[in-house]
């Protein structure tokens, strides 16, 4: 799955930096601890492979998924920038953050680097655009920032001049970000959860800060700021719905065991769900490389959150005409992989029964996946992953809507019906052809 869907809908106010680099490329992107740069490019003192700060900093970079957007997957050098972030307001290019003095951050001080990451201020005090999620990274502690700086100094210098701001007028005026920051940038550092265990607080630190999970999983207003009272209760990206990931037992992950959460984040799948789209990218590039201890902490924190008050509705009756049509479409097109009982195939095809993601109020991700197809996360534990073909050419809008309505109301699921009009809009947004023999939308 390309980064296009993850980034095209980013408001300037802070959807996650993310993207797909691929398993092998991701392994190459994060430089081995101690790899040296040319001292002429701004590294003041050699750092050896034994330096614990570099080792810790590399892990911080992984947890923060820094390489994903600061590396152009089309032949770009690690961290050299140039990847185009498509936003509703225009295009931004991710900056060069290698140790090159002329075009990267080789001439920066540690204080300037820390200010940029945590406060959204460039070397000369200019406002950065919050497509770089400094509103989450503000919660990264001093030790992790120091270690990240130590690691970044080991990244080889690349001479690659990037003009990041390519937005049209008036959005290219950085002073506008002063207003956004005033409205939406909470500069409060990480505050431990009161009366919570050390494990939950470690999870809270990772989720709120380095993991910047709210960037996708929290709904945004029209300016890209987080909607109040909706923390991690689901958000929309172009063509995708990032589901609720709280302890809500209907649409969240409250019914998952901690082991299932860890398996999902480590391999990209468990017996309930398979990561796809932007989440597959996050697993491939970041969470699969994190320690089980940290993944368990993330699970403990997320499941401690009460989440939304959305409850389970009554499912549509199997005798409803739309359910009968959907059952026929499912049997002919979906059952071969997902099975007639909706249980799927472990690590290949998602299980569909009693699945919180399937039951999300917003069915955008389901429509995108059926129409466009996709591939689940590629990980060390699941190197082949699973893929789903596009059905845009084969199924009409009515057939897709009926099949999804059937899936969302079978095997213990209960969710609103999907309409043909919703599918048609999604097909148009994705610029996909109509059913074979039918005119494109």
Q: Where do the H-state alpha helices sit in 108-252?
A: 110-119, 134-137, 142-152, 176-184, 198-205, 214-217
338 is known to lie in a ligand binding site: yes
- What three-state secondary structure class fits 87? strand
Q: Per the structure block, which two tokens stand in for 242?
A: 């990032």
- What three-state secondary structure class fits 269? strand
Q: Which residue has the tokens 């989720």?
A: 207
Kindly report the number of other CB atoms within 10 A of residue 195's CB atom: 6
Q: Report which of 262, 270, 255 is spatially closest to residue 293, judged by C-alpha positions.
A: 262
Q: Which residue has the tokens 């380095």?
A: 210
Taking the C-alpha atoms of residue 385 and residue 352, their distance in angstroms, rounded to an integer, is 17
213 is known to lie in a ligand binding site: yes
Answer whether 379's CB lies under 8 Å from 266's CB. Answer: yes
207 Cα distance to chain centroid: 12
124 is known to lie in a ligand binding site: no
Element (H, E) at 218: none
Element (H, E) at 320: none
250 is known to lie in a ligand binding site: no
Q: How far is CA 423 from CA 34, 242, 334, 404, in A?
A: 51, 18, 17, 10
212 is known to lie in a ligand binding site: no
241 is known to lie in a ligand binding site: no
74 is known to lie in a ligand binding site: no
Taking the C-alpha atoms of residue 263 and residue 390, their distance in angstroms, rounded to an integer, is 27
- What three-state secondary structure class fits 388? strand
Q: Per the structure block, which two tokens stand in for 67?
A: 């390489």
289 is known to lie in a ligand binding site: no
Answer whether 355's CB lies under 8 Å from 413's CB. Answer: yes
DSSP strand E in 354-400: where?
A: 374-375, 387-388
70 is known to lie in a ligand binding site: yes
Residues annotated in the binding site, as ranges?
66, 69-70, 213, 216-217, 334, 337-338
Residues annotated in the binding site for heme c, as ranges?
66, 69-70, 213, 216-217, 334, 337-338
């Amino acid at each position: 799955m390309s980064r296009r869907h993850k980034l095209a809908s980013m408001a300037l106010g802070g959807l996650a930096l993310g993207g797909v680099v691929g398993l092998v490329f991701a392994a190459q992107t994060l430089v081995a601890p101690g790899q040296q740069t040319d001292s002429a490019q701004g590294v003041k003192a050699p750092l050896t492979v034994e330096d614990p700060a570099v080792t810790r900093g590399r892990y911080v970079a992984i947890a923060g998924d820094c390489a994903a957007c600061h590396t152009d997957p089309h032949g770009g050098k690690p961290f050299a920038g140039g990847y185009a972030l498509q936003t509703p307001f225009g295009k931004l290019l991710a900056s060069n953050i290698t140790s090159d003095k002329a075009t990267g951050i080789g001439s920066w001080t540690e204080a300037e680097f820390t200010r940029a990451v945590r406060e959204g201020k460039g070397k000369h005090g200019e406002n950065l655009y919050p497509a770089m999620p400094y509103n989450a990274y503000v919660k990264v502690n001093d030790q992790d920032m120091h270690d990240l700086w130590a690691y970044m100094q080991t990244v080889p210098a690349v001479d690659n001049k990037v003009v990041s701001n390519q937005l049209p007028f008036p959005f290219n005026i950085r002073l506008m970000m002063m207003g956004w920051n005033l409205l939406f940038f909470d500069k409060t550092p990480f505050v431990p959860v009161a009366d919570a265990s050390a494990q939950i607080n470690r999870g809270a630190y990772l989720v709120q800060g380095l993991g910047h999970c709210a960037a996708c999983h929290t709904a945004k207003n029209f300016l890209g700021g987080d909607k109040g009272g909706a923390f991690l209760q689901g958000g929309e990206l172009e063509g995708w719905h990032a589901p609720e990931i709280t302890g809500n037992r209907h649409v969240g992950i409250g019914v998952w065991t901690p082991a299932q959460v860890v398996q999902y984040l480590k391999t990209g799948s468990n017996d309930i769900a398979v990561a796809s789209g932007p989440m597959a990218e996050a697993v491939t590039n970041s969470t699969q490389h994190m320690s089980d201890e940290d993944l368990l902490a993330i699970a403990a924190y997320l499941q401690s959150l009460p989440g939304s008050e959305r409850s389970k509705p009554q499912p549509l009756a199997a005798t409803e005409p739309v359910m009968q049509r959907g059952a026929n479409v499912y049997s002919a097109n979906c059952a071969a992989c997902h099975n007639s009982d909706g249980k799927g195939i472990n690590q290949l095809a998602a299980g569909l029964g009693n699945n919180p993601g399937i039951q999300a109020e917003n069915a955008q991700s389901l429509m995108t996946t059926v129409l466009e197809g996709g591939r689940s996360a590629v990980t060390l534990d699941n190197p082949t992953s699973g893929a789903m073909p596009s059905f845009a050419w084969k199924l009409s809008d009515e057939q897709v809507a009926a099949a999804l309505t059937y899936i969302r109301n079978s095997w213990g699921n209960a969710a609103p019906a999907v309409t043909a009009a919703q599918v048609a809009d999604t097909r148009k947004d994705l610029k996909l052809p109509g059913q074979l023999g039918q005119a494109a939308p």
